[in-house]
């Protein structure tokens, strides 16, 4: 087994606050012109004023950073110009850690000091969460309800009016779209007074036709409440579509179809009705042990305002990322509707523990032990479920069974999945993502998965670790895979990164833009095409 991801992908301070031009090689299609944003942690250690080193334990708790790639072309569409800038968005948090040598508040996986007294833990449960926030998992461009000026680039407009960073808590961090400076953190209750819960999905869903944005808000307690809501793109107003009680869980993403929102409460249940989060001071330790006998519950909410219309249950599983969902005539009655839901699934919760830094960095002894069968249990499968015969007018009080259509071999599956965005809420064939075939302690390639054949093709280069691929469609294309993939890749030998452009049809490299240093391994991104003024 190889183990090439070294500390350059995790423990780095490489930033470019001022835009710098990158070295472009190969051919980049002109329709890629635009702005690509990337999120993720930039380093996890701080030297404190007490001359000690403070360090986050879990990759999800690294210091949030935003990366910006601006791609433009001269009028003759010759060699493009790619400029890059980046910025941490946690200056205030870093200053607190430097001065105090500690970080208060709730994290994802931060281990508390074993010497901390039981009394301190109990008393701290009753302190409100205050202070600087570490928000930076996903990025949303032009969320409804905000209107500001656009940024001009080479006679064009980026079309980026607002930029928000999101996490799995019910708060967002507004960022300047060009300088990447943070403007301030806000909570979901500014959208609607009922959205008072603590958790939400980092991955909101957007209807590509209307521009409406959907998400859920989870209020944990003795009776935990999920509120599914919609933000109207046309009015900016927020509407609660459904409120229901269910087991609180860590749910990072969900599904959207033409007429329904589908929230699957899979088996990452938070114990004690959420009180364990306050006691443990992190999400991961608050999640109950995986129970394979417990069912995953699927809640179907009608987008037209009829509330919760159906519930289903399936085998126990865990998921970070949904892929797509769509409606199709029912297999039992063509006049009725089935929902097909597609995701990258796990058969237990082991993968969340995999992402402790000690397990990821090849230079650490723990990464060598975190191998073999323990490592194999952390592999995703590409899966499809069917929710049969959804009938809005006749909700059943008892959950009905969800059907498993297929689960792929993990060697052809993906994480950080993306698709051609024009196929959202439609039946599609291809999914792109990062591959994990046990060749390293992290990701080892880019994969294109075929739903029809359940086979895959790959791009990989020894010691080069890619990030999430973002699909940019060819506006003149006719096939689903007419377009390119954009991925930020770290060359582990040179310890420098580059923006890779792959042809989506066959994963052949078309071009790249080379950087002067290493971009830390990140989470998610979004591309916004330039528009002519």
> Per-residue pLDDT tens for 74-114?
887 678 999 999 999 998 888 999 999 888 788 888 766 54
Q: Counting Cβ atoms within 10 Å, is residue 305 exposed (0-12), middle (13-18) or buried (19+)?
A: exposed
pLDDT for 175: 94
DSSP result, 340-404? EEEEEEESSSHHHHHTBHHHH-TTSHHHHHS-HHHHHTT--EEEEEEEEEE-TTS--SSPEEPEE
> Per-residue pLDDT tens for 3-25?
556 677 888 889 999 999 999 99
**What span, in angstroms and rounded, lies between the C-alpha atoms of 100 and 465?**
35
* Inter-residue contact 160 to 174 (CB < 8 Å): no
**What span, in angstroms and rounded, lies between the C-alpha atoms of 410 and 399?**
29
162 pLDDT more than 70: yes
**What span, in angstroms and rounded, lies between the C-alpha atoms of 109 and 58?**
5
**What span, in angstroms and rounded, lies between the C-alpha atoms of 162 and 171?**
16
pLDDT for 438: 87
> Per-residue pLDDT tens for 48-67?
999 899 999 999 999 999 99
Per the structure block, which two tokens stand in for 110? 């931060």
353 annotated binding-site participant: no
pLDDT band at 419, cuts 50/70/90?
very high
DSSP 63: P
Strand order in the sheet with 531-532: 152-153, 156-157, 531-532
Instruction: Decide the pairing of beta strands 455-459 and 430-435.
Output: unpaired
The 3-state DSSP class for residue 151 equals coil
DSSP 56: -
Instruction: Decide the pairing of beta strands 415-418 and 430-435.
Output: antiparallel
Give residue limits of the domains in the chain. Answer: 7-532
* Inter-residue contact 45 to 11 (CB < 8 Å): yes
pLDDT for 12: 86
Instruction: Tell me which of 155-169, 380-394, 507-521 is least confident.
Output: 155-169
382 annotated binding-site participant: no
pTM: 0.92
* Inter-residue contact 187 to 174 (CB < 8 Å): no
* Inter-residue contact 142 to 318 (CB < 8 Å): no
* Inter-residue contact 307 to 263 (CB < 8 Å): no
Torsion over CA: 303, 254, 342, 526 (sign): positive
pLDDT for 2: 52
pLDDT for 124: 41
259 annotated binding-site participant: no
252 annotated binding-site participant: yes
251 pLDDT more than 70: yes
Per the DSSP assignment, residues forming a β-bridge with 260 are: 302
Instruction: Decide the pairing of beta strands 307-314 and 400-401.
Output: parallel
Residue whose pair of structure tokens reads 């500001």 in the numeric block: 148
Per the structure block, which two tokens stand in for 432? 């792109």
**What span, in angstroms and rounded, lies between the C-alpha atoms of 527 and 442?**
24
DSSP 247: -
**What span, in angstroms and rounded, lies between the C-alpha atoms of 80 and 18?**
19
Q: Which residues of 30-68 are buried (b: 16+ CB within 10 A; e: fewer)?
A: ebbbbbbbbbbbbbbebeeeeeeebebbbbbbbbbbbbb
Cα-based angle 61, 185, 141 (whole degrees, multiple of 5): 90
pLDDT for 3: 54
Instruction: Tell me which of 6-15, 20-29, 335-344, 490-499 is least confident.
Output: 6-15
Spatial CA neighbour of 411 closest among 375, 380, 451, 453? 380
């Amino acid at each position: 087994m190889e183990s090439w991801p070294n500390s350059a992908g995790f423990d780095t301070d490489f930033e470019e606050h001022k835009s710098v031009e990158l070295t472009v090689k190969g051919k980049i299609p002109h329709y890629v012109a635009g702005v690509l944003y990337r999120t993720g942690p930039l380093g996890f250690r701080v030297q404190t004023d007490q001359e000690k080193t403070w360090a986050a334990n879990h990759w999800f708790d690294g210091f949030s950073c935003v990366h910006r790639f601006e791609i433009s072309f001269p009028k003759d569409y010759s060699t493009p110009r790619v400029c890059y800038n980046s910025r941490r968005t946690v200056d205030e948090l870093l200053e607190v850690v430097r001065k105090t040598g500690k970080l208060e508040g709730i994290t994802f996986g931060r281990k508390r000091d074993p010497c901390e007294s039981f009394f301190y833990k109990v008393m701290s449960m009753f302190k409100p969460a205050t202070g600087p926030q570490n928000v930076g998992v996903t990025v949303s461009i032009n969320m409804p309800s905000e209107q500001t000026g656009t940024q001009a680039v080479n006679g064009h407009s980026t079309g980026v009016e607002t930029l928000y960073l999101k996490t799995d808590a019910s708060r967002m961090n507004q960022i300047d779209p060009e300088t990447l400076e943070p403007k301030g953190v806000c909570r979901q209750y500014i959208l609607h007074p009922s959205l008072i819960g603590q958790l939400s999905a980092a991955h909101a869903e957007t209807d590509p036709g209307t521009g409406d944005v959907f998400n859920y808000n989870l209020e944990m307690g003795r009776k935990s409440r999920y509120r599914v809501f919609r933000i109207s793109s046309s009015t900016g107003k927020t509407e609660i579509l459904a409120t229901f009680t269910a087991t609180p869980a860590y749910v990072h993403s969900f599904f959207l179809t033409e007429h329904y929102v589908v929230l699957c409460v899979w088996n990452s249940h938070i114990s004690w009705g959420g009180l364990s989060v306050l006691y443990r001071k992190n999400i991961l330790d608050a999640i109950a042990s995986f129970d394979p006998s417990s069912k995953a519950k699927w809640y179907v909410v009608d987008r037209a305002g009829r509330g919760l219309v159906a519930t289903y249950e399936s085998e126990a599983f865990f998921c970070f990322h949904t892929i797509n969902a769509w409606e199709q005539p029912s297999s039992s009655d063509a006049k009725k509707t089935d929902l097909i839901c597609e995701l990258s699934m796990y058969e237990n919760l082991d993968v969340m523990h995999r992402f402790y830094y000690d397990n990821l960095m090849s230079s650490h002894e723990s990464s060598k032990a975190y191998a073999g069968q323990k490592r194999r249990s952390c592999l995703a499968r590409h899966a499809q479920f069917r929710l049969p015969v959804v009938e809005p007018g006749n909700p059943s009080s008892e959950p009905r069974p969800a059907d498993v259509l297929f689960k792929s071999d993990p060697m052809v599956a993906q994480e950080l999945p993306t698709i051609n965005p024009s196929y959202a809420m439609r039946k599609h064939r291809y999914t792109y993502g990062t591959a994990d075939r046990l060749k390293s302690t992290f990701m080892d390639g880019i994969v294109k998965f075929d739903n029809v054949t359940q086979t895959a093709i790959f791009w990989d280069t020894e010691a080069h670790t890619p990030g999430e691929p973002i699909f940019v469609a060819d506006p003149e294309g006719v096939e689903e895979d007419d377009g390119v993939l954009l991925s930020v890749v770290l060359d582990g030998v040179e310890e420098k990164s580059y923006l890779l452009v792959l042809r989506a049809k066959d994963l052949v490299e078309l071009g790249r833009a080379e950087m002067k240093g290493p971009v830390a391994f990140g989470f998610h991104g979004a591309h916004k095409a330039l528009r002519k003024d």
